[in-house]
Amino acid sequence: MKIVVLDGYTLNPGDLSWDALERFGELIVYDRTSLTDVDEIISRIGNAEIVFTNKTPMPAEVFEKCLGLKYVGVLATGYNVVDIQAAKEKGITVTNIPTYGTDAVGQFAIALLLEICHHIGHHDRAVHTGRWEKNLDWCFWDYPLIELAGKTIGIIGFGRIGQATGRIAKALGMTVIVNDEHPNDSGKKIGEYVTREEVFQRADVISLHCPLFPSTEGIICKENIEKMKDGVIIINNSRGQLVVEQDLADALNTGKVYAAGLDVVSTEPIRGDNPLLKAKNCFLTPHISWAPKESRKRLMNIAVNNLDAFLHDNAVNVVNE
């Protein structure tokens, strides 16, 4: 059996092992495959029966021409890079990797918030360049420092990651209010379920952890920003399309939104004309919330288990049933 990994570097830049996959058959791992050249994608898959992809797209044309394919393992939670309907029509099973990065992503959301509150990176650089040594005062700070205890965080999307974020925020002394279409008992122990409108109106910090659906696309927009408190902070390490980027940039530049911490944008990698690149007090990171080694190990293990289950006619985490 031939197994191809189209873009293995993102998951494993060299600090993990592919050995567990090699036991299933002949394994070929490409660090990167073109995101736009479908002919290259098809050529690299060739006659493989098993393919793993992270961000390399697999449109319908791939399934029309790679006739040996039986299984596609997406090395991520989101699977929009694969035409799952085309795969289903060809009888090809597609799986994803849920829940592997819950704690890592929740931690990163709070890390973005803490950076906004304290500008630690900036002040670290200031010390290293000699400003503290030469300063006339005992200490200095270039930005307002913000204490989170007593402030309200509104979390939109209160599944596993939202709840992980909420637990940390609660430990910091924040009041946690949440909005989710499916309230549950575990969530009620962490925060108060409210309407989305109440989140917009009451929260000092709004953190997005919801899937991308028609009902959530563009929820951070001019109309909804106007409902928010002046000086609100917005965090998004869920999906870039939840934000209307020009509207958020405008609100940052006017000060209506004090700051934004974003690990995702609408088009990734980010384009040079993205208005958020020039917006005031906008903290941007390159979609790395999921990427601690511990989280990636978990992802690798689940990918192996997914394939093993498929080969034993007991497929799990199937997204195109």
Are residues 143 and 32 part of one domain? no
Number of neighbouring beta carbons within 10 Å of residue 157: 22
Is 251 a member of any domain? Answer: yes
> Which residues share a beta bridge with 233?
205, 259
Are residues 137 and 85 part of one domain? no
Q: Which residues contact 34 (CB under 8 A, 6 or more apart)?
A: 40, 41, 56
Distance CA 66, CA 48 (A): 8
Distance CA 272, CA 278 (A): 10
**Tokens linked to 89:** 């029509």
Are residues 130 and 75 part of one domain? no
Distance CA 301, CA 296 (A): 9
Is 289 a member of any domain? Answer: no
Are residues 51 and 32 part of one domain? yes
What's the total number of domains in the chain?
2
Are residues 183 and 47 part of one domain? no
Are residues 68 and 173 part of one domain? no
Are residues 134 and 256 part of one domain? yes
- The catalytic residue among 26, 147, 268, 294 is 268
- The catalytic residue among 123, 239, 296, 298 is 239
- According to the model, what pLDDT value does residue 16 have? 98
Give every strand in the sheet of 282-284, ordered side by side: 192-193, 175-179, 152-156, 205-208, 232-236, 257-262, 282-284
DSSP 240: G
Distance CA 75, CA 301 (A): 11
Comparing C-alpha atoms, which of 275, 309, 260 is closest to residue 109?
260
* pLDDT, tens only, 46-61: 999 999 999 999 999 9
- According to the model, what pLDDT value does residue 8 have? 98
Task: Give the DSSP H or E segment for 81.
Answer: none
- According to the model, what pLDDT value does residue 314 have? 97
Is 320 a member of any domain? Answer: no
Print the domain residue range for 111.
102-284
- According to the model, what pLDDT value does residue 57 have? 97
The most distant pair of C-alpha atoms in the chain lies apart, rounded to whole Å, by 72
Are residues 261 and 116 part of one domain? yes
> Which residues share a beta bridge with 98?
none
Distance CA 211, CA 180 (A): 11
Low-confidence ranges of the chain (pLDDT < 50): none
DSSP 271: P
Is 157 a member of any domain? Answer: yes
Number of neighbouring beta carbons within 10 Å of residue 35: 14
Which amino acid type is present at position 114?
Answer: L
- The catalytic residue among 123, 196, 209, 287 is 287
Are residues 79 and 120 part of one domain? no
239 is annotated as an active-site residue: yes
287 is annotated as an active-site residue: yes
**Tokens linked to 213:** 């659906």
119 is annotated as an active-site residue: no
**For residues 110 and 165, is the Cβ–Cβ distance under 8 A?**
yes
- According to the model, what pLDDT value does residue 221 have? 98
Are residues 75 and 216 part of one domain? no
- According to the model, what pLDDT value does residue 12 have? 98
* pLDDT, tens only, 193-214: 999 999 999 999 999 999 999 9
Are residues 304 and 246 part of one domain? no
Distance CA 266, CA 243 (A): 8
Which CATH number do you get for residue 77? 3.40.50.720
3-state helix, strand, coil in the chain (%, to 5): 35, 15, 50
Give every strand in the sheet of 26-29, ordered side by side: 26-29, 2-5, 50-53, 71-74, 93-95
Are residues 162 and 252 part of one domain? yes
CA angle 170, 213, 107 (to 5 degrees): 30
φ, ψ of residue 260 to 5 degrees: the values are -135, 140
